[in-house]
């Protein structure tokens, strides 16, 4: 096993821990009010499944699926940031209709619920996941 393959496997293990931690965090926060809040669970579980496939039966299809899953994790994270930001902004405007500009942005970014940047961790997990997916040629 090459040093690069070992390194990528370590990255994959860290991504698995991060994804599992994100799922546990979402479950503890009861991020389950509607179907939209279940999307991160589905995407993260898909990522875990593809990482398991990569580890157990590496091949071109597994690599492509793993990369697609990591891109999906990143897209879901970006969408989550946008949705959290919008939700917090609506709440801030309901609380104070006169608020706007940088004051609104500051309040939205500092709000505890929903935390605007929390889904950004999924973007980071997806980036690390992409870095940890080895090419089929590297597996020998």
Asked if residue 29 is part of any domain, the answer here is yes
Q: Give the domain range for residue 129.
A: 3-133
pTM score over 0.85: yes
Contact 19, 126 (CB under 8 A): no
45: exposed, middle or buried (Cβ count in 10 Å: 0-12, 13-18, 19+): middle
- The pLDDT score that the predictor gives to residue 4 is 87
How many structural domains is the chain composed of? 1
Asked if residue 138 is part of any domain, the answer here is no
Asked if residue 32 is part of any domain, the answer here is yes
Question: CA 118, CA 116: separation in Å to the nearest integer?
Answer: 6
Q: What is the pLDDT of residues 72-88, one digit of tens each?
A: 999 999 999 999 999 99
User: In which residue ranges of the chain is pLDDT below 70?
Assistant: 136-140
Question: CA 114, CA 109: separation in Å to the nearest integer?
Answer: 10
Asked if residue 48 is part of any domain, the answer here is yes
């Amino acid at each position: 096993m090459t040093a690069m393959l070992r390194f990528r496997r370590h990255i994959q293990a860290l991504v698995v821990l991060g994804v599992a931690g994100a799922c546990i965090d979402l479950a503890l926060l009861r991020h389950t009010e509607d179907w939209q809040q279940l999307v991160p669970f589905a995407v993260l579980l898909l990522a875990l499944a593809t990482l398991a496939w990569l580890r157990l039966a590496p091949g071109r299809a597994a690599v492509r699926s793993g990369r697609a899953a990591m891109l999906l994790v990143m897209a879901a994270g970006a969408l989550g940031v946008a949705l959290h930001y919008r939700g917090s902004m609506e709440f801030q405007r309901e609380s104070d209709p006169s608020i706007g500009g940088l004051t609104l942005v500051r309040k939205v970014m500092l709000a505890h619920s929903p935390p605007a940047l929390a889904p950004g961790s999924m973007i980071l997990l997806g980036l690390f996941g992409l870095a940890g997916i080895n090419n089929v040629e590297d597996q020998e």
